[in-house]
Copies of this chain bind each other. A is one copy, B any other.
């Protein structure tokens, strides 16, 4: 849909627009209004280059997209009936909870083993453990490949499937070779299209689940979904969308809580939404409230940081990790709220 700046296009302008859209298999249809004429682009109007060329015309006010740009991720695509199961939970049927440490301490593997048992006891379905960590400060601890063995050992001891963030192709292949069950793409790499493609290619023939965090900025929802489309386009549709707070911090939390985006995502895509309240608010005391708010907004799962002794943790754990006791209460309340919302779900 094109809106010109003037009440209508001149014949020469209309000819110019037509010449732009025809090579893309589209045509222009004027819609004569009482005051202003606007112009529908009939055909597949999703080509970015065509849109850019029209927006580049100085007599055009704006181009309003009518079609969804997502072939596979769209709420009405053939994949809409696809169901993802992880940690024994079918997303959408009950609440998935992933819990564990922000960062594994390679010098103290027992912390992760104990945390793994504790989060299982508290009701979590899967274990997260940071092997490599994106750090603002180049001189901070950046993680250690040895922690991958610790993570897999925690899996063997508890039976919980494990989730690890990967930041480049080397880490990706180390993680897959070790047998990690869920690959996490962090907020800083959420639009790293080279990595998204590498992951899509690598998991194409596997059942590995990919947890895609939202980028740090509040981009349009379609940009978030397009990042998932990159992965799914290679063939594996097991992708979960994870809002985790955005920057800048607008009110006083570590990030700006964004669980409220959940219903808006669910209108556009069939992909399940798993919210990370720990990074959203960034402080253990606020995490339970944020986790419940996510469930209130319709989240299908939660990804929560927990540690048997938060003050002895590394990375973000001393600030953010819940103790097993608080985690257990949070999971219980979250599941109660999930059940409460079920029959009368409005959104």
Contact = CB atoms under 8 A, between A and B. Distances in A.
Nearest to A50: B318
A316 B33 contact: no
Contact of A340 (B142, B251, B284, B336): B336
A260 B263 contact: no
A110 to B, nearest CB: 19
B248 A289 contact: no
A12 interface: no
Contacts of A18: none
A286 B347 contact: yes
Contacts of A46: 137
A299 to B, nearest CB: 10
A47 to B, nearest CB: 8
A329 B344 contact: yes
A52 interface: yes
B226 A136 contact: yes
A38 B3 CA distance: 14
Interface stretch (A89-97, A148-156, A216-224): A216-224
Contacts of A142: 193
Interface of A: 1, 3, 29, 31, 33-36, 38, 40, 42-44, 46-49, 52-53, 55-58, 64, 66-67, 69, 71, 134-142, 167-169, 171, 188-189, 191-195, 197, 215-223, 226, 229-230, 233, 246-248, 250-253, 257-264, 281, 283-290, 292-293, 295-298, 310-311, 314-320, 326, 329-330, 333, 336-337, 340-341, 344, 346-347
